[in-house]
Structure formats: C-alpha cells, structure tokens
A and B are shown apart, each in its own frame.
Chain A
Amino acid sequence: MSSDHDHEMGFLRKYVFSTDHKVIGIWYALTGLFFLFFGFCLMMIMRWQLAFPLEKVPVIGGLLGSTLANDGVLLPEGYNALGAMHGTIMIFLGVVPIVVGGFGNYVMPLQIGAPDMAFPKLNMFSYWAYFIGGVVMLASFFVPGGPANSGWTSYPPLSNIATTGQTWWLFGMVALITSSLLGSINFIVTIVQLRAEGLTMFRLPFFVWAQFVTAFLLLLAFPPLEAASILQLMDRLAGSSFFMPEGLVVSGEQSAYTGGGNPILWQHLFWFLAHPEVYVLILPGLGMVAEVLANNTRKPLWGYRTMVYALVFLGFMSFIVWAHHMFITGMGVTISAFFATTTMIISVPSVVILTAMIITLYRASIRFTVPMLFVLGFLPMFAIGGLTGLPLGLPAADIPLHDTYYVIAHFHYVVAPGTIFAIFAGLYYWFPKVTGRMMNSGLGKIHFFGSFIGMNIVFGPMFFVGLAGVSRRLFDQTGYAWGDAVQNWTIASSYGAWFLGLAQIPFIINFFMSIRGGAKASDNPWDATTLEWHAPSPPPHGNFATVPVVYRGPYDYSTPGAAADFSPQHAAGTES
C-alpha cells in the first residue's frame, strides 16, 4: 500500500491493470458512461420505429444489418433485440457500474479516510469481470439471429427457445453478476474495517451508508439470479427442463423438452434479484443527491439518523416485495395481499427519505450550482416515479396498467430523470476531485435544462399512452385502435428522446474539454465537509498524506460561531 514504488510501475500497471481504487473507479465510470450512451442510442432507434412505423431509419438505417433490419427498416425481431439490450445495457452495464463501481469505488474509500479498498486485487478482478461481461454483450450483436431478444427479463419458455444471442446474454450475465458479488463483499469489508479514526457509523456520509446498504442488496439478491441464469443455460445447452412444462407445441411441432419445469420459477428467481436491483439503481443515487444537497443548502441533512434508518429498512423490505411484478401471473388472493401490503409498506421509508431531503431545503441558503440543479431536477422527478408506483402496487388498479407504458413511464421516472440525474449531479460535483479541474458551469446549465425538458417530454406522455391501454414492447401500436388514438403522444415522446440526445452534446463537450482545459480546482472547491475534500485534487496513490482523524458528523454546515459556513470532518475543534 505504500507509495514508494509508484514511479517504478509501468504504464499498464499504473493506468490499466491497476489495483488503485481511483483508477478502477475511473475505468468503471468511463466504461459505464460508454454503455449508457450506447444503450440510449439503441433507444433512439426504437423511438424512430415507434413514431414512424416501418419507415426507413434515417442516417444509421444502413448500419443495422440484415438481421435486425431490412433495407434500413427496423424489423420486429430487431426491435425486440434492441429493447432487450437497451434494458440490459442500461441497468447492468450502465447505471449500476457507474453508481456502484464508479462513484462507489472512487468516492467511498476517500470519504471514510481509507488508503484503498480492503481487497485491491479483488477490486481489479471485479472490474475485469464486468468488462468481459460487457464485451460478451456487445459481441452478441454479431452472432446469427442477433442479440438476446426476449426482453431484459428473459422469461422462459420464450428465452429458452430464442436464438443464440440469448446464450451469450446468459454468459454475459454470469460474468456481470460475478463482478457485482465480488465488488459487494469488498465494499462491505472496506466500510466496516477501514474507516478513519473517529469515523463512527453515524458519522458516515449518507453516500457511504447508501453504498453499504446497496452492497448488501447485491450480495444477497444476485446469487438467485446467478443460479437461475445457470439453470437457463442448462435448459438451452444441456436439454434440461427447469423452466419448461410438458406438452409444449412450438411452431406447430411438439417440443423436445421432457417437461416438468415451471416458467414461473424463473420469474420468482429473477424478480427476487430484480426488485432489490431497482434499489441498487436508486440508493447510491439518493446517496449522491444527499451529498450535493447538504453541500449546496449549506446545512446538515434534515433527520440524518431517520434517513439512515429508513435506508436500512428500505433495503430490508426490498427483499420481500418482488412478486408485485407478478400480480397477473395468476397469483392467489392471499399471496397477492401479502405482496401488496409489503409494497405499500416499502413506500413509507421512500417517502421519509424524500421528505427529509425536501425539508433540508427549508431555511437553507441554496446555491444553484450545476450539481445542485440536477439534484433539484431529481427530487420532483423521483417523486413522480415513486408516486406512480402506487396504482401499480395495488393489485386491482394494476390490472389495466400492468405491462403498459404506464409502467415504463413509472420506472423510467425513477431511474432516468432519477438516478441518471443523480449521476450527472455526482459527475459535476466530484469532477474537480478526480481531475483537479472544474467543469464549465454555462455548458452544465444548458445540459441540465435541456435534459430536464427532454426527460419530461419523453416520459410524461407515456403515462397517458399507458392509461390508453398500449402494451409495452409493441413494435407498432398503430395496429390497435387504442394505440392509434395516442400515436401523437408516442411521436411527442420520440421527439423528446431525440431532443434529449441533443441536450447531451454540451455535456460530452464539457466533459472532455474540462479534463485538460477546465479551470484549475482547489482541493475543496465546493467548501464541503466530508473527507474526500481533505485529499489533494486529484488524490495520489494512497490518498491522504496523513491519515485523517474525524472529529464530527458529515454535514457540519453553517454552525453558529464557526469560522466559515462549513466545518470539515477532519478539522479539530468543537465536536458535534
């Protein structure tokens, strides 16, 4: 861990196969951002087909190949493939690697005053496992029949009888799950073992708490999906029938599967992961929002302890709500009553956290910095996402809304203007720490307002399209009377998506220009209190010149009688 032989390391050891949590974090974030952009591009192609069915995709139509498209016109199988890969890429290759692998890896050890993660080599391995998973997923675009096209949920028997791409998808998933499992163990051990002196659990920044709970979710929720993925691989490759009942007739021919399996089993195993996964997507985002919020309101988070309790409760509850995704699989009255009840209960801690964040604004001194703008965009958008979960959680109200665009709008409000805004907030906020330079705030504001408007034009109309009865994953909704009636709304959504794409251009320019050309940042440009701002910008290998000692809670802002409106955690003085 000593930094003596830093200079002797070769380029590859230092920048590529590095065990330094910061280098790994940067790799995670950059790879994740690439996938986020890639997944978004897939969606922009799909939006074209939805808005203008069976018309040639402009500009890139020719690149789609002959499996996904014909003569530049997207085919239904191409649409399904893009849809499945959009979901998979955004969740497993984009958002989770950025919020956990990227921000978690980079910021968390700094915030707890640690020189590195507890297991640096394991950390490096989990990045490369993720990288392999990503390469497998990308490569699957070039196998015969195209990539997986059974949706990101991959329900058998459809996925069992799908083209080769599905096998690649499963191998990719096994690699990604392995990566997350290794990462989560590392996070838990690091947070438990490597905190600086004086940094008690209730002095941890909220972001670290969020990472801590997230790590437990990953650790406990992913193994069932890993098992399920392997079972599905067996079904596909070894002719087992874990998910295949008997008596199937596919395309007029009796299926060769022996039967005896149950397709619902997959759904239970899948959603046992995938519901906690939703919280894996959002909790680190909430953590980042909390950091930026406290810093830019110049006051402590309101009800920090309550928020932590709510967070832990949320994590726990997320394990016993999974079957609310399955209300219409023929679920009985008793079991659905249980899951509907847990679903209503889980909304309470979410409301507590959100309310605490809003009340933090009260009697604050709000600085409208770019990261803060994204947080202020996040709060109402996340509220919409949360609130619209209510009718979906009530089994009766769920009937007309299940598997419609209403659901899509609901969870996208949680993860797109929700988590992705949190990611942008985090990027603008910690960029000076990582690069030693500030990002341009003018471009940042254009980026924010463009994204804010774009996101709402994309997802707002989807609520109405969903209420109208339009099922999700339809290649062309105009063939149905209820779909044709709201086609205008779908077109509006599509324009929103392309506008949103344009709005990312200032960000991309800003990001790359600022790495070398941004204004030089001091070690603590935001006048923040947490430990990462105690380290130099960018922090060297080993992070801190002297091991910091913590004297106070994480958000000691505007303390009466203090010299400045912030008192860093490592600053000796009156303890709080």
Chain B
Amino acid sequence: MRFTKMLCILAVLAWASFHLLAPPVQAQGSAAPDTSGVKIDGEYGPFLPTDISEHGYKIDRVIDIVHVFMAVLFVGWGAFFVYCLVRFRQKPGHQADPHEVKAKVSKWSEIGVAVFEAVLLIGFSMPLWAEVRAEIPADDDPNALHVKVLGEQFAWNFRYAGPDGIFGRSAAKFVKDGTNPMGLDRSDPHGDDDIVSGEFHIPTGKPIVVQLTSKDVIHSFSVPVLRIKQDTIPGMRIPISFTAKKSGVGTYEVACAQLCGNNHYSMRALMYVQSQNDFDAWLIEAGKPPEEFDEDDLD
C-alpha cells in the first residue's frame, strides 16, 4: 500500500517536471534540415518558431502570459492535491471530517481566475484581435502590397497586380491547369500584366494585404513564422494583413492547416521574404512572358 502511494506521488512529480521544466530537446538552431532542396531559414523547435512579423510579438506575449498563469494555477492546485493525498490517506483510527470546509481560498481563487480571464480577454486578446482582423488597408491603399491567394487541391497560387497596380478580371471558366491556374481573363487590359506564381514573394517593412479564397474546398493559409492563419473558403474573399520585419529576410514555408483532401500534407509553398529592391527585381523577372520551351536544349 505504502509502495503504491509512493508510486502515485512519484508519477505526479514526474509528470509535473516533464511538463513544466525545460524540455530536453532544444531548438535545432538555424540549421533547419534541408527537406526539399531549398534551405529554410528560421529557428524551429518545441516552442513557438521564429517570428518575422511586426504584430507577432503581441500574440506571443498573450500566449506567454496565459501559460505562466496556467502554470501558477496548476502548480498551486497540484501542491494542494498532493498534500491532501499524503496527509489525508486512510490510516487506522483516522476518520474523514464530513463538515463542509469553509473554503474562502477556493472562492477567492475562483474569483481571481475569472478576473484574470476577463483581463486577458478584454485587455489583451480583444484589442489585438481587433487590430489583426479589422485594421486592414483598403483595396486601393497605395502604401500596401495586395496579393491574391487562391488555394486549390493541393497547391497555393499567388497573384500580384503587376505594374498597373490593378487586378484584372478572373473567372472559373478561364481556369486551365498548368497555364492559367487562377482563371485570369487575358482579354482584360488590367489583367494583362498580372503575375501568377507558385511562390510567395513579399517585401519587408511594407503592409501586405492577402486576399484569400479557394477554388474547391476549405483550406487554411498558415504561415507560422508570420503568426498568421486564416481559412480560405470557396465563395468568400477574406483579407488579412501583416508586415514582415526588416530583419526577417529569408526563405520560409506556407502550409495548409485545414484538412483539404488526400495530399493535404503536400500543400506547401515557399515564401521568400525579400528587401524591397530584391522584391521589385523579382516582380520584373516574374512579369516577363514565360520562356519558350525547347526540349532539344535539355538533351
């Protein structure tokens, strides 16, 4: 019996240390493994990954505060739990006291929890959410870069307005796999210079507005390093906005976070965060008509 009790206590302690102390496996540093032929920048490990967005630190701060709060509650509560298990175990001659304990502590701790949650919600989460969700530059805001993102099974398509800064028309009937994945109407003069790419290129230090929609099923546009995630829903156009930090130049990954079919896990795109100059150069390069393909050159 005594052995069982010891085991029980040990298990609880082991559990607590497992969860609350520093995990043994540390972030693997910047040497993220080369899994696709392209080196991915950033530090990844068992905590939140690198943050290259200007709003990300606020989200991280809320997450940190909540976790400290959870840890405090759990440790306090767990200490009382373990104390009770040891102190009030059944022994000969010992009987339980059926009188209701007047537990002021519990009442106050419950009120404390409620107040703290209210503070978290009203003080941190709501303003931040409002900032992330509502403060999105308008469609004609020249200071922001607008990108249309179209999800499909199982790829992301990115569309830039080109030199004229205006997106051309597009419709489902124009969609052609391979050559016109976003269904651009090439007869529209505004659409002539639109750039469609399978890579996500963005400049640093400039507000980016991403307008998300989907061709077929629900996807979710997830970029962990930018602290953004937004479902893309067919039939809806949902804008989100963010700014990449100047120091965030590098290559990262875009993933799909909503089950979208067999190869959901292959729905990965590369994101190139570039200085404004590099980005402009890329735009010019990508805006050129596609190169002629001559298979004899390959032999």
Are any A and B Cβ atoms less than 8 Å apart in their complex?
yes
Q: Is B281 an interface residue (CB 8 A)?
A: no
Nearest residue, chain A, Cβ from B81: A358
Closest to B97 in A: A363
CB of B74 within 8 A of CB of A383, answer yes
Give chain B residues whose Cβ lies under 8 Å from the Cβ of A252: 175-177
Given known contacts A361-B81, A380-B78, A471 and B235 CB-to-CB distance under 8 angstroms: no
B231 close to A (CB within 8 Å)? yes
**How far apart sit A37 and B91, CA to CA, in the bound complex (Å)?**
38
Instruction: Give the shortest distance, in Å, between A420 (CB) and chain B (any CB).
Output: 17
> Which residues of B in the span 212-240 have a Cβ within 8 Å of any Cβ on A?
215-218, 220, 222, 224, 227-231, 233-236, 238
Would you call A484 and B32 a contact (CB within 8 A)?
Answer: yes
- For A396, the chain B residues whose CB sits under 8 A away are 58-59, 62, 124-126, 128-129, 132
Complex contact B234–A379 (CB within 8 A): no
**Contact between A303 and B100, CB atoms less than 8 A apart:** yes
Q: Do B231 and A397 touch (CB < 8 A)?
A: no
CA A82 to CA B4, docked complex, whole Å: 38
Chain A hits for B67, CB < 8 A: 391
Partner of A482, one of B4, B25, B44: B44
- Is B138 located at the chain interface by the 8 A CB criterion? no
CB contacts (< 8 Å) of B173 on chain A: these are: 254
Q: Does B284 contact A (CB under 8 A)?
A: no
Determine how close the nearest CB of chain A comes to the CB of B266; give it in whole angstroms. 7
| Chain B min CB distance to A244 (Å) | 8
What is the CA–CA distance of A486 and B258 in the complex, to the nearest angstrom? Answer: 20
What distance in Å separates the Cβ of B259 from its nearest Cβ neighbour in chain A? 4
Distance A80 CA – B23 CA, assembled complex (angstroms): 30
- The answer to whether A298 touches B95, judged by C-beta atoms less than 8 angstroms apart, is yes
Given A250-B216, A298-B96, decide whether A368 and B4 contact each other with a Cβ distance below 8 A: yes
> Given that A403-B229, A481-B40 are known contacts, is A473 also in contact with B33, CB under 8 Å in the complex?
no
Q: Counting CB contacts under 8 A, is A488 at the interface?
A: yes
- Tell whether A485 pairs with B28 under 8 Å between CB atoms, given A80-B259, A249-B175, A299-B98: yes
- In the complex, chain A residues whose CB is within 8 Å of the CB of B220: 328, 403, 471
Chain A neighbourhood of B42, CB < 8 A: 481
Judge whether A399 and B229 touch: CB under 8 Å: yes
Q: How many Å lie between the Cα of A403 and that of B257 in the bound state?
A: 6
- Mask, A439-472, CB within 8 Å of B = 1, is 0000001000100110010001101110111011
A489, CB-defined interface residue at 8 Å: yes
**Cβ contacts under 8 Å, A347 to chain B:** 113, 117
Question: Distance (Å) between the CB of B93 and the closest chain A CB?
Answer: 10
> Which of B8, B27, B124, B263 counts the most A-chain CB atoms under 10 A from its CB?
B8
A387 and B74 contacting across the interface, CB-CB below 8 Å: yes
Contact B70 A387, beta carbon cutoff 8 Å: yes
Chain B residues with CB below 8 A from A565, complex form: 95-96
B187 in contact (CB, < 8 A): no
Partner of A333, one of B11, B129, B263: B129
**A355 CB-CB contact with B under 8 Å:** yes
Are A486 and B44 interface neighbours, CB within 8 A?
yes
Please determine whether B172 and A479 come into contact, CB atoms closer than 8 angstroms. no
The interface bits of chain A over 153-164 (1 if a CB of B lies within 8 angstroms of the residue's CB, else 0) are 001111001000
Question: B159 CB to closest chain A CB, in angstroms?
Answer: 15
What B residues does A480 contact at CB under 8 A? 35, 253, 255, 268
Question: Which residues of chain B have C-beta atoms less than 8 A from A557's C-beta?
Answer: 96, 98
User: A521 interface residue, CB < 8 Å from B?
Assistant: no
Q: Which residue of B lies closest to A162 (CB)?
A: B261
Which of A356, A390, A445 touches B70 (beta carbons < 8 Å)? A390
Give the complex CA separation of A364 and B95 in angstroms: 7
The distance from the CB of B267 to the nearest CB of chain A, in whole angstroms, is: 10
A246, A249, A404, A558 pick with most chain B CB within 10 angstroms: A249
Chain A stretch 230-263: residues in CB contact (< 8 A) with chain B: 245-252, 254-255, 259, 262-263
Q: Which positions 398-419 of chain A face chain B at CB distance < 8 Å?
A: 399-404
A169 CB to nearest B CB, Å: 14
B265 touches which of A76, A250, A300, A391 (Cβ 8 Å): A76
* Proximity bits, A333-356, B CB within 8 Å = 1, else 0: 100110011001001100110011
Q: In the assembled complex, which residues on chain A have CB atoms less than 8 Å from the CB atom of B98?
A: 299-300, 556-560
**Contact code string B107-121 (vs A, CB < 8 Å = 1, else 0):** 001100110011011
Structural contact, A344 and B118, CB atoms closer than 8 A: yes
- A contact residues around B44 at 8 Å (CB): 468-469, 481-482, 484-486
- A464 and B96: CB pair below 8 A? no
Q: Tell whether A373 is near chain B: CB-to-CB under 8 Å.
A: yes
Residue A522 at the chain B interface, CB threshold 8 Å = no
Is A248's CB under 8 angstroms from B172's CB? Answer: yes
A249 and B152 form a contact (CB under 8 A): yes
B36 adjacent to chain A (CB < 8 Å)? yes
Cβ contacts under 8 Å, A453 to chain B: 11
B18 CB within 8 Å of chain A: yes
> Given that A248-B234, A396-B128 are known contacts, is A155 also in contact with B23, CB under 8 Å in the complex?
no
A-B contact list, 10 entries, CB within 8 Å: A246-B235, A249-B216, A340-B126, A362-B80, A364-B96, A365-B88, A400-B63, A460-B18, A477-B265, A481-B33
9 closest A-B pairs by CB = A245-B235, A469-B224, A464-B46, A485-B44, A361-B84, A481-B40, A396-B128, A299-B96, A394-B125
Residues of B within 8 A of A (CB): 1, 4-5, 7-8, 11-12, 15, 18-19, 23, 25, 27-28, 32-33, 35-36, 40, 42, 44-49, 58-59, 62-63, 66-67, 69-70, 73-74, 77-78, 80-81, 84-85, 88-91, 94-98, 100-101, 103, 106, 109-110, 113-114, 117-118, 120-121, 124-126, 128-130, 132-134, 152-153, 171-173, 175-177, 183, 215-218, 220, 222, 224, 227-231, 233-236, 238, 253, 255-266, 268
